[in-house]
Amino acid sequence: MAQTAPPVTAPLPPAKLEALKQELIGEIDQQQKATQQMVDMVFSFGELGFQETETSHYLTGILKKNGFVIQSGIAGVPTAWTATWGSGKPVIAIGSDIDCIPKASQKPGVAYHDPIIEGAPGHGEGHNSGVPLNITAVLALKKIMEREKLPGTLMLWPGAAEELIGAKAYFVRDGYFKNVDACIFTHVGDNLKVSWGDNGYTGNISVKFNFEGQAAHAGATPWRGRSALDAVELMDVGWNFHREHMDLSQRSHYVITDGGDQPNVVPSKAAVWYFLRERTYPKIMEMYADAQKMAEGATLMTKTSVTHEVLGSAWPIHLNKAIAEAMYQNIRRVGLPQWSAADQTLARAAQAETKAPKTDSRNRPIDGLAIRLDTLMGPATSSYGGSDDIGDISWSVPTVVLHYPANIPGLPGHHWANAIAMATPIAHKGVTAGAKAEALTLLDLLVKPELLKAAWAYFNDVQTKDTKYTPLISATDKPAITLNQSIMAQYRPQMMKFYYNPAKYKTYLEQLGIAYPTVRPTAPKASAQ
């Protein structure tokens, strides 16, 4: 059923709104130290999806101290929560991801591979920065709302296990966005930008196939066995042959999570985990059905059996035009940070180390950090290939994604190199810029009734006119909260020794004893912006 924008108070006079925006910018500038500490602290935790216990405890502690009401363990995810403050309409949701990447441990400020702990996880995506940005923005806004008696409810929430597309669909299914009027999501990037419409991301279903056979002595009586691993490998071979006949827009990839115990025992159990990505719900479901057929075929060839379980899902993303246009005006007002020579030296050294391309997907030069704002982007003309479960929320409530310049252009993504900048002045400056753009847009949503009206008109009359959201998860599916438990149990005791101590050290760089920037002797030098 179509929804309408909520009633709000009359819009503020332009001069009053301008004064409040100036105040917001100044307040966020004054919070730079607190922002830096939050960014560095979450970086030091380095927690994988569904295991973000230290991160969530730390962030909710800050919010609780500032008067937010915390609801923990939402949608059956122990590390997920909501933090609400205020009253009445509109209700604005403000979210960002918090999980990190396997084997991405990296010393910040060092432009070559130098892990803090070899093999440990780390923030090789930059998810340590988004919720600190949101907290910075809402605490500044909260002061103004209290003084000016502005109605409205702010609801912060984390994207737990985003790298596993593991939680947001469950938040939607379980009703946490039912009464929300708009959502601003923040994601680390290399420019300060926003887009609207279909942004080219794929939808995705994450599914694991569990095969069961019969054990036997692999040397003495292999004919008595039924290899579950054979079934996994045959499914994978079949799927790889099938790729030739699939649309160019598809992306699919897998890992064998269980290949047996030891070579002299015919594996009685084996498992393979697939990500199946496509541009539309019907295409995703077609891939899903094909994968189930491949699995059944493998069982027929091996006399084994198979079950499957959905581990996560994401819809293709569609972002709101009205809110994006308003946000872009605030982005233009804020502008990019002023990068120092040290910032640019680190960026260019990291780009050289990872053999970054000379130009991006839009044929723009990649050379150090961005010094020109990106344009407001409309619907994408090609597929990006990646997925993000913010898509499920974007089909439930008018949503935009603010990308902020806390990372280095041209890096591989999901890689240790993407952690290089994430506890350095690059990230700190980028988060501060993003917090300003977000806070200004939040204020617009609170005091401009016409903005929410336009946002819902686009949502109802354009976005969802012909496409209706159908969940990729069922009513009985459950979040896969045991994922990554063993990895974190292995590495957390070592990682705890390197948690940031802001009471003793000004920055995490100082605590680790890193000279900023640390580059190879042949790395290019740069001048300040």
Q: What is the dihedral of CA 419, 420, 425, 426, to 10 degrees?
A: -80
> How would you classify the pairing of strands 318-319 and 197-198?
antiparallel
Listed in order, the ranges of the chain carrying CATH 3.40.630.10 are 22-198+316-465
Tell me which residue of 300, 246, 293, 320 sits closest to 93, measured CA to CA. Answer: 320
What pLDDT is attached to residue 523? 60
CB 202 within 8 A of CB 383: yes
What pLDDT is attached to residue 385? 81
Tell me which residue of 323, 343, 335 sits closest to 436, measured CA to CA. Answer: 335
pLDDT tens sequence across 281-302 = 999 999 999 999 999 999 999 9
What pLDDT is attached to residue 1? 41
Tokens representing 145 are 């709302």
List Cα–Cα distances, 65 to 36, 426, 523, in angstroms. 18, 28, 44
Instruction: For the chain, list residues with pLDDT below 70.
Output: 1-10, 523-525
- Neighbour count for residue 434 (Cβ, 10 Å): 33
What pLDDT is attached to residue 312? 96
CB 304 within 8 A of CB 211: yes
Cα 383 to chain center, whole Å?
18
d(CA 122, CA 311): 22
Helices and strands (DSSP H and E) totals, the chain:
14, 12
CB 354 within 8 A of CB 412: yes
- Neighbour count for residue 282 (Cβ, 10 Å): 10
What pLDDT is attached to residue 9? 55
Length of the chain (residues)? 529
- Between the two ends of the chain, the Cα-to-Cα distance in Å is 51
- Coil/strand/helix, residue 10: coil
User: What one-character-per-residue DSSP string does 88-146 give?
Assistant: SSPEEEEEEE---BTT----TTBSS---SSTT--B-SS-TTSHHHHHHHHHHHHHHHHH
Rounded (10°) angle between helices 321-334 and 449-458: 130
Tell me which residue of 430, 386, 160, 435 sits closest to 253, measured CA to CA. Answer: 386
Ramachandran class of 403: left when φ > 0, alpha when ψ lies in -120 to 50, beta otherwise = beta
487-495 LR contacts (CB < 8 Å, sep 24+) = 487/48, 487/51, 487/102, 487/121, 488/47, 488/48, 488/51, 488/121, 491/117, 491/119, 491/120, 491/121, 494/117, 494/120, 495/44, 495/45, 495/46, 495/116, 495/117, 495/120
Tokens representing 255 are 């890992």
User: Beta strands of 269-322 (E only): which ranges?
Assistant: 269-278, 305-314, 318-319
Tell me which residue of 181, 135, 180 sits closest to 156, measured CA to CA. Answer: 135
Residues 22-198+316-465: name the CATH superfamily.
Zn peptidases (3.40.630.10)
d(CA 169, CA 150): 31
List Cα–Cα distances, 162 to 121, 130, 146, 198, 435, in angstroms. 15, 13, 33, 19, 21
Q: Which residues contact 229 (CB under 8 A, 6 or more apart)?
A: 211, 259, 260, 267, 270
Tell me which residue of 207, 227, 166 sits closest to 307, measured CA to CA. Answer: 207
d(CA 275, CA 252): 6
d(CA 1, CA 459): 12
Listed in order, the ranges of the chain carrying CATH 3.30.70.360 are 203-314
- The domain 203-314 having CATH identifier 3.30.70.360: the answer here is yes
d(CA 251, CA 106): 28
